[in-house]
Chain A
């Protein structure tokens, strides 16, 4: 295993609604022996709301430049942050004029293009690797799991690190720790509607409901995800969706860092499992 230290980009929800993702990612990486150094004074990646790509590139040139100073690859647990950081990386390397223009704005944006931006899930599966992880597994997680990947893990394929149509990085982790992947290929990359949550809530609810209902119909004990926006809709908004459609779902939604952390014997509290909205008590009970 080559990587021992990474620049960590937590993303804006890490202090609020995705706090359990932040906590569990840190605990997991400590267990894996990779030091995470938070990017000093990082700024928001622009999420999906900043729609001008050039503005996104300038915002993230600053983040990349800070990590580059320490000569570290940058890693984030958020799929949207990952997409914005890595597409900036590509664009600035490929378009010299644009790169020069952005560099001219402020010395803080003087990014030379020497590091990579990665999703923490990519680092876990493709850098640490399943062999290394299997040596650290101390508990079995015999659960039926619906792996939900959402959009930016595989799409667009020039940026994503997994297959755009049938990603399997989480599937492999689930199987490694004794879980069973429920048939979910129709749903695993279907958008949750996250970017529409505030402005077209009904549509976003409809999109998320499909994912929740599919997981339930396949008999899943829980869903795992690797994106705070997907998690917000699937977990925090699940009671609202149940109420709106008069349905019962009661589906725990864990971050992949939480599920993997359980298998590695990390204390549920240290994985922030008390912070998930839909109770994860049943899940914790089934870990042996």
Chain B
């Protein structure tokens, strides 16, 4: 991919640095330690956190935010632990993902990954009940990722019917887990989302 200098956004790196988790981006000196030790790169060789950081530093905002790669990170902290510059890459990738989610919501970019849908559905459960409600999460995620309740349910059945049976047989998914476990003071959690949510 050739760089078109006139399309670069030199402010992108500052935007990342101002996003919680992304503060250390400017320390990166491109040594590749992050990429060499990455368990995802081992399986998907095109996944290259060093390159994502370099592209970000150069200001290739759209390319970074629209790339599928930023959604492959498993947040395992191996890169953060090994980075000689203390860039905290796991957190940095999270900051970049959140900028992408925001820009996608505003219609400025297009995100193909379904991960933002999942993260959002997770947050919605937490905001509503104070705890994770797995059934609610799955229903919301599949409905939105597959653009409709019926197609969502069909995909969910395909992915999870066997696992569901297994969990049921071992007493890990009973009538109790069909309903949400709601905490008493959900108002406190709601307030947290209102005041801290980006």
Contact = CB atoms under 8 A, between A and B. Distances in A.
Contacts of B193: 55
Interface in A39-53: 41-44, 46-53
Contact of B123 (A49, A54, A201): A49
Interface residues of A, number: 58
Contact of B74 (A62, A154, A191, A201): A191
A196 B47 CA distance: 14
A240 B177 contact: no
A276 B123 CA distance: 28
B99 to A, nearest CB: 11
B contact patch SS: helix
Contacts of B71: 199-200
Contacts of A200: 71-72, 115
Interface in B150-198: 159, 162-163, 166-167, 170-173, 176-177, 181, 183-185, 188-189, 191-193, 195-198
A162 B107 CA distance: 44
A288 interface: no
A54 B162 contact: no
B58 interface: no
B185 A108 contact: yes
Contact of B131 (A44, A58, A151, A236): A44
Contacts of A48: 75
Given A151-B76, A198-B118, A201-B159, A58 B183 contact: no
Contacts of A199: 71, 113-115, 118
Contact of B126 (A50, A105, A196): A50
B21, B81, B95, most chain A CB atoms within 10 A: B81
28 contacts: A12-B132, A42-B183, A44-B126, A44-B131, A48-B75, A49-B118, A49-B123, A50-B123, A51-B95, A52-B94, A54-B20, A54-B196, A55-B196, A58-B196, A105-B192, A105-B196, A106-B188, A151-B76, A155-B81, A156-B88, A164-B81, A191-B39, A196-B74, A199-B113, A200-B115, A236-B172, A237-B163, A275-B172
Interface string B121-136: 0110010001110100
Nearest to B94: A51
A16 B174 CA distance: 8
A206 B42 CA distance: 10
A147 interface: no
Nearest to B93: A51
Contact of A12 (B40, B131, B166, B188): B131
A98 B170 CA distance: 44
B173 A203 contact: no
A284 interface: no
A157 to B, nearest CB: 6
Interface in B52-74: 71-72, 74
A252 interface: no
A207 B74 CA distance: 10
A51 B189 contact: no
A59 interface: yes
Given A52-B196, A199-B113, 12 more contacts: A12-B134, A13-B132, A15-B177, A16-B173, A41-B130, A50-B126, A54-B20, A58-B195, A106-B191, A151-B76, A207-B43, A275-B170
A237 to B, nearest CB: 7
Contact of A105 (B130, B183, B191): B191
Contacts of B77: 151-152, 155-156
Nearest to B170: A275
